[in-house]
Chains A and B, each alone.
Chain A
């Protein structure tokens, strides 16, 4: 009834190519952004920021990065955890070297460092495909984590082997460490993620994104129509790693505060991010956010329900949680293999006809 697009005529190409060509979508997204930027910071508290919103945003960004590589370019990667670690360690070292440089610039440079590492580990993709490539990216996962754990230079030879974030001010406002207010942390993360999401959306619907999708759908055919696989695949690795690196820097700096490579960035991290994009929807920007919401919120919900609601012992609850998580993943894959983003799309299609479907 409300979701109608009739009467919305486009009179210019740019209007036709807008990111949200339908007015209702536009209003909806602007509304969400307004709430996120102008309302949430005033009502947010420590628990909501640290347990729910910031991890959700950070995982969504990592999911976005992996989705560029796997969903748009078709290269399955299991090295996400390690690339996040590269971003985290790069930001840690850079803040140590240049304490007076703006944190935003340092995060950006950490992303670039991760992009360079990603390109190096993306080189085998030119020759290896499919699951062989997926397993090959595990080489990156295990090697990088081992490196960060072994070489003292990376963690400034701290006796615990952990890296701890230094207190950083961003234009006079503390954004990291325990003294930062939840609202400051949240807004800083949100602003970066909103900008990067917009950029990603525009990359994937432009020429570069189309060349990635052509490679994904069939690389030989893509080559025949003049797409250079070297450029397309490596640029996908670079852009994807950049996003994952920034996500890693935020994950370490803003969310965790201190990190240890074997726990914070291990292979489960890679699987979680892969779950996010599969549950959310491969090849969909929205999917990364929906998937992140699913993966971050579900365990919290289940834990609260079981420990708080039914009084299950927390050890048992942990086992039940992992069991249920696995079962739900299978369930969602069976119900909708194209992810939550597809469900949302179907809902919108239905809404256009509602309440008179005939």
Chain B
């Protein structure tokens, strides 16, 4: 296994959290993993993307030029990265914000309205977890149970007790992504 992933969107869409959670899940599975972030000075808006490498073998460079998977949360990300995707690569698109049909041959495209699904769950900020659910099911990196366990442990670590209510909605988002039918 040698997976190179780019996750990209606006600042504030939870790109970095999505990436670090995935890195955590991979680590818990005993895999090697690197996470490298890139973002602007803005707290919200601007561009945010991260590069993740997951492998059984030792990982050299954390920089990803031609990803085997790409998750895009907005249109600028699609424009910037879709051309770099490897042949037979996986492309997950937030179809709530990206209307474009992708014409590139030889890749697998999954369009999921993650922002809309998140709004239905009650908070559009969990769109990232829905996309992550779609991704880990597709790539079979971890089981849904392990993913939920990892999510809970990280949220508890980050926010201590006061934000326990966030766990519920994030868990539901991850589940709905996992169960999403194309």
Binding partners A and B: no
